[in-house]
């Protein structure tokens, strides 16, 4: 969430989900249009709102990368090496799954008894 201030109420900040922001207009006041079609007039300039959204996204993505690595960045290993090793492991797992499935009979062939076997 990012913190903004309604125009005329600069002492009362509010939080807004930046994923809901569709447009930011300067007409001459800054109008933030949300995906819900609601419009909010804020005290910040369009550039300030855009900077806040950008900073929020950078924070979310960097936290996700830290969690994905599981603290490995502390042991001095290069993250690109870890990503390449993970990609190789994923490909090997997929190839093994495809090879295992290739040996299995497809569909339900042979599961129905013929008319002779049913006694007809």
Q: How far apart are alpha carbons 72 and 80 in whole angstroms?
A: 12
Q: List Cβ neighbours of 79 (8 Å cut-off, separation of 6 or more).
A: 65, 69, 72, 73
- The answer to whether 53 touches 18, Cβ cutoff 8 Å, is yes
Residue-wise pLDDT for 79-115, tens only, equals: 555 666 666 666 666 655 555 555 555 444 555 556 6
Q: Report the predicted TM-score, pTM, of the whole model to 2 decimal places.
A: 0.56
Residue-wise pLDDT for 44-81, tens only, equals: 999 999 999 999 999 998 888 888 876 555 555 555 55
**CA 45 to chain CA centroid, nearest Å:** 28
**Buried (b) or exposed (e) across 74-91, using 16+ Cβ within 10 A?**
eeeeeeeeeeeeeeeeee
- The answer to whether 42 touches 32, Cβ cutoff 8 Å, is yes
> Domain residues of the chain, as ranges?
2-101
Q: How far apart are alpha carbons 42 and 27 in whole angstroms?
A: 11
């Amino acid at each position: 969430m990012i913190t903004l201030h309604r125009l005329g109420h600069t002492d009362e900040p509010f939080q807004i989900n930046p994923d809901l922001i569709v447009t930011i207009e300067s007409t001459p006041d800054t109008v933030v249009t949300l995906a819900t079609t609601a419009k909010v007039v804020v005290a910040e300039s369009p550039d300030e709102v855009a900077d806040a959204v950008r900073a929020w996204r950078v924070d979310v993505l960097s936290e996700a990368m830290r969690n994905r690595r599981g603290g490995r960045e502390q042991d001095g290993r290069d993250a690109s090496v870890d990503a390449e090793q993970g990609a190789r492991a994923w490909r090997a797992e997929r190839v093994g799954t495809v090879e295992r499935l290739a040996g299995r009979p497809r569909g339900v062939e042979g599961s129905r008894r013929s008319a002779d076997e049913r006694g007809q």
